[in-house]
Amino acid sequence: MIPNVTRGVLVEYGLNVPPLILEFEFNPQTLSRTRSISITTGNAPGTRGGYDFAFPWETHRVAQGVEVEPEQFSLDILVDATDRMADVNHPAHAVANEFGIEPDLDTLRSMVEPKSQGPGGVQTLASLGQGSGRAFERDQYPSVLLLVWGTHILPVFLSSVQVDETAHLPNLRPYRANVNLSFQVIEGNNPFYQVEQVRQAVGAGLNTARSAATVLSRVFGGG
């Protein structure tokens, strides 16, 4: 049996006009996640890759000059209007038959474009006349997005979008495309990342308990 495809959601977080939201099928074969650290040891004598240490309580000194970079990840999604086009009862049936997935792709492009903040905190696309000719100049900002899938709600910046259109309507508007999205997680003091940290700590605790139980059973059970 083929499992049901989970829906993912990418939504712009802020007072935006218009509010941007994209729902997509999320059942990727691969999802690449990368976390790296940068290490600067300076001129510490005898140091190769970290400061000298002998005991566990010295590890805070070992980590001098080490910075943890924000997590980055990428995923591939399928944006497809075939179901909407075939289902006459779908609320977006007429739009899909006329425009295909062009509104979906326009939403992604708008999520990448810089925003300008107006009165009352309302944000609009800088290209609509409030911004300068250069992206992210002065009072222009990238969109803060929430990526929702499964139990995860991650605050992210959308760092790149690659679209490969694979099928088109007679009017040449696309109705199917493979899209690669790259993100950087916003790991600051915000409620979404704090919840993710708690979820991660719980998961690590479950793994520690499982690993400890396995080791103990091997030691005392002789397995």
**Amino acid 53: pLDDT:** 78
DSSP of 23-73 = EEEE--S-EEEE--EEE--TT-TT-SSS---SSGGGHHHHTTTEEEPPPEE
C-beta atoms surrounding 196 within 10 Å: 19
How many angstroms from the chain centroid is the CA of residue 48? Answer: 34
Looking at per-residue pLDDT, the higher value among 173 and 59 belongs to: 173
Q: What's the mean per-residue pLDDT of the chain?
A: 83
pLDDT above 50 for 2: no
State the alpha helices, DSSP H only, in the chain: 59-62, 82-86, 93-99, 102-112, 191-221
Q: What is the mean pLDDT of residues 116-136?
A: 67
> Token pair for residue 180?
């690669």
In this prediction, residue 135 carries a pLDDT of 55
Confidence of residue 1 (pLDDT cuts 50, 70, 90): very low
Query: 5-46 pLDDT, tens per residue?
Result: 678 899 999 887 778 899 888 776 678 889 888 877 666 555
- Tell me what pLDDT residue 49 has: 64
Q: What is the DSSP letter of 133?
A: S
Q: Please report, rounded to a whole number, the percentage of residues in the chain having pLDDT higher than 90.
A: 43
> pLDDT (tens digit, 9 = 90+) per residue, 151-173?
889 999 999 999 999 999 999 99
Contacts of 64 (CB under 8 A, 6+ apart): 41, 51
- Measured in whole angstroms, the distance separating CA 120 from the mean position of its chain's CA atoms is 28
